Amino acid sequence: MHYNSYNNLRNNGNMTIQELLVKNLKVSFSTSEKELVAVRGINYQLNKGETLALVGESGCGKTVSALSILRLIEDPPGKIMSGEIFFDNKDLLKLTKKELQAYRGKEIAMVFQDAMTSLNPVLTIGEQIIETLLRHTSLSHNEAKEKTLKLLEQVEIPSPQEKLDQYPHQLSGGMRQRVMIAMALSCSPRILIADEPTTALDVLIQGQILDLLKKIKDETQMSILLITHDLGVVAEIAKRVMVMYAGEIVESGPVKDLFRSPLHPYTIGLMKSIPRLKPTQEKISKLDEIPGVVPSLAQTPSGCPFHPRCPSVETRCKTEKPKLKAIKDEYHVSCWLH
Amino acid sequence: MVKNIKSSQSILLEVKSLKKHFQVKTSNQGIKTVHALNGISFVLHEGETLGLVGESGCGKSTAARTILRLVDPTSGEIFFKNQNLINVKNNKLRSLRKEMQIIFQDPFASLNPRKRIRKILEEPFDIHGFTSSKEKNERIAWLLERVGLLPDQVEKYPHEFSGGQLQRIGIARAIALSPSLIIADEPVSALDVSIRAQIMNLLFDLKQSMQISYLFISHDMTIVRHFCDRVAVMYLGKIVEIADSYSLYKNPSHPYTEALLGAIPSIDLEIKKQRLKIKGELPNSMDMPQGCAFYSRCPIREKRCEQSIPELKEIKPGHQVACFLSG
């Protein structure tokens, strides 16, 4: 058992220090008719100082699994059915609400997609960040204000003094997301969970925010768990990536390997369906598409969940479910072909 | 080859110095003007796909709505099949609208949730004069099949469909009257990656089989590169660069285009990006800068850029740029 969260592994000559370990996490939602399983037993570890991406389409369970880390799933209807999440030698799923509060925002912080709805519209930027600091640290109000100014500078907000007294609606989407990041960084967390942090932003602003996240990670050595649907963003910022489909991780590995030669037919299909940027004089043609749609939670197919859409489907894929297995160093895939 | 569309090819749509300004009330009783569209000009040839790209607030959706006269322009001219849409009277405009359709970004918001699919698809025929219900039924069955849906889904309501399926219904409605022009306003932005390719392929098939020309509005430079014959880049209500797709992506000549292309997160790990870093954000379109609109963020700006506005000029046949420092 990995009860020791500082489980040292040798990896390419570097010491990898495990920061977070998720084991067999299952999450469900109950409806009036039946219980729908959104996350079907996922396992992974997040290492110190790394950026790990969790990528997948809507409804694949990526956000639910991330929210479960801090137990932010509303219960009911949501329920963590089973699993263990180790951080700091403790299973976060076994802590009392009060104990967990010491971790939320302090050791593990989150940034969400929509900064407008995540910020309080009736409090100024300054008040919101100062509140976080007063709650989790022993700083005085003045010290907290000083610190807030420093944080706003760190996230490269122009004229921070002025912004302290402004309300969220007075800022642009990009600036609001910087405020969210400043707030998340306020207690120097060890882990930052970023759920689609740039999805609502324009491409130039997205570039700025991704650069900012990279800079902060290098400065602070914190670990980032990045949730996204955008494979381009993954390539830009993450070192390792996990691909989710229908509540399960179907492939995981270093970004450079997985993007060069993906192995799972779903990942291969996704990569092929994305148009490339390279200028070409070729005639416009059709894109490769994955047929069908993501299965609904109520009707997850038997066997491999991807089999109805899979171009390489075999007989046993329809009845037997493949397990996520290691096929090379740090590389896992769940497919009968491998 | 689709590129190098000859000028002899007939022009379907021509937009000349189109402007749209909105008056808004400010908190202190004043009235300010939002310069959403500041004089754009372009042509769209028959059978062509022209991409209109830019960030939020650059005026691309206002362009779409103004061209269809869903909002009236402040000034400028729009010629569709050689008729000036600005002057035509309501009846004539209505009959021209058969030929000009729009597909919206959000399929959930653009279909009436209280109407069955049959009703939604009947509407174009009711408005534009198909009378026999037999004819309508046949046509609707054909439409559904054409966009990849089953005929028995016609009695369902929008909430019973996924986003991709709803977008197919939106497309079916747009092609119902066999238009020659479709303005597609971010048609795949709200969809998942694996569904995007399906919808793009559907639009491509329709273009081939029904001779549709597209004005394709998007912020996604990779999809535009894949789908469009020519591309116009907009910034703060103006076109700053327009060229055939290959030239634009190969030799972006406006610093803004270069920055946009450099900022796109790409899954091609091999592409070494020379990213042109752009600081700051889009200026407010209520306080228009005196000179070049991009001046405040431009990494290569000079003094003259602050004082005078660069006009679009041709730097190569078919490739126009609005920048003093290019060409």
Please tell me the predicted confidence (pLDDT) of residue B272. 59
A278·B264 Cβ contact <8 A = no
**If contacts are CB pairs under 8 Å, which of residues 140-179 in chain A contact chain B?**
172, 174-175
**Chain pair A-B, CB pairs under 8 angstroms:** 132
Architecture of domain B11-99+177-321: 3-Layer(aba) Sandwich (3.40)
**Is it the case that residue B16 has pLDDT exceeding 50?**
yes
**pLDDT bracket for residue B327 (50, 70, 90):** low
Q: Is A258 on the interface with B (CB under 8 A)?
A: no
Which amino acid, residue A276?
Answer: R
- Determine the distance in angstroms separating the CA of A203 from the nearest CA of chain B, rounded to an integer: 6
Interface test with B, best of A284, A285, A297 (most B CBs within 10 A): A284
Q: Which of A234, A256, A283 sits opposite B2 (nearest CB)?
A: A283
Q: Give the pLDDT mean for B44-60.
A: 93
Please tell me the predicted confidence (pLDDT) of residue A7. 42
**Chain A partners within 8 Å of B193 (Cβ):** 57, 229, 231, 270, 273-274
B193·A274 Cβ contact <8 A = yes
| A278-310: burial string, b at 16+ Cβ within 10 Å, e else | eeeeeebeebbbbeebbbebeeeeebbbbbbbb
**Chain B partners within 8 Å of A207 (Cβ):** 262-263, 265, 275, 278
Please tell me the predicted confidence (pLDDT) of residue A284. 75
**Chain B partners within 8 Å of A271 (Cβ):** 267
Q: Which of B49, B194, B204 sits opposite A286 (nearest CB)?
A: B204
The whole-angstrom separation of Cα A129 and Cα A151 is 9
Helix axes A173-185, A203-220, angle to 10 degrees: 10
pLDDT single digits (tens) B65-74? 999 999 999 9
The whole-angstrom separation of Cα A195 and Cα A82 is 23
**Chain B partners within 8 Å of A57 (Cβ):** 192-194
Q: Is A257 on the interface with B (CB under 8 A)?
A: no
- Determine the distance in angstroms separating the CA of A23 from the nearest CA of chain B, rounded to an integer: 28
**pLDDT bracket for residue B274 (50, 70, 90):** low
**If contacts are CB pairs under 8 Å, which of residues 196-255 in chain B contact chain A?**
196-198, 200-201, 204-205, 219, 221-223, 225-229, 245-246, 249-250
Q: List the domains of chain A with CATH numbers.
A: 1-100+239-273+291-323 (3.40.50.300), 120-229 (3.40.50.300)
Q: Which of B55, B246, B265 sits opposite A279 (nearest CB)?
A: B246
CA distances from B60 to A126, A229, B232, B242 (A): 35, 25, 10, 14
Q: How many helices (H) and strands (E) does chain B have?
A: 10, 12
The full DSSP string for A274-292 is SPP-S---SPP-PPP---S
Residues of chain A where predicted confidence (pLDDT) is lower than 50: 1-13
ipTM rounded to 2 decimals: 0.83
**Is it the case that residue B215 has pLDDT exceeding 90?**
yes
B197·A288 Cβ contact <8 A = yes
**Is it the case that residue B5 has pLDDT exceeding 70?**
no
Q: Is B56 on the interface with A (CB under 8 A)?
A: yes
| B181-192: burial string, b at 16+ Cβ within 10 Å, e else | bbbbbbbbebbb
**Is it the case that residue B269 has pLDDT exceeding 80?**
no
The distance from CA B292 to its chain's CA centroid, rounded to whole angstroms, is 23
pLDDT single digits (tens) A190-243? 999 999 999 888 888 888 889 999 999 999 999 999 999 999 999 999 999 999
Give domain limits for chain B: 11-99+177-321
Q: Is A218 on the interface with B (CB under 8 A)?
A: no
The whole-angstrom separation of Cα A117 and Cα B76 is 39
Which two structure tokens, joined as six digits, stand for B278?
């752009």
Residue whose structure tokens are 């699919």: B117
CB contact set of A210 (below 8 Å; sequence gap of 6+)? A198, A233, A236, A237, B265
* Across A174-188, A209-223, B2-16, B88-102, least confident range: B2-16
B197·A287 Cβ contact <8 A = yes
- Determine the distance in angstroms separating the CA of B211 from the nearest CA of chain A, rounded to an integer: 15
pLDDT single digits (tens) B109-152? 999 999 999 999 999 998 887 778 888 899 999 999 999 998 88
* Across B25-39, B170-184, B198-212, least confident range: B25-39
The whole-angstrom separation of Cα B140 and Cα B134 is 10
By C-alpha distance, the chain A residue nearest B221 is A277
Please tell me the predicted confidence (pLDDT) of residue A5. 37
Q: Is A281 on the interface with B (CB under 8 A)?
A: yes
Is residue A77 within 8 Å of residue A37, measured between CB atoms? no
Please tell me the predicted confidence (pLDDT) of residue A12. 46
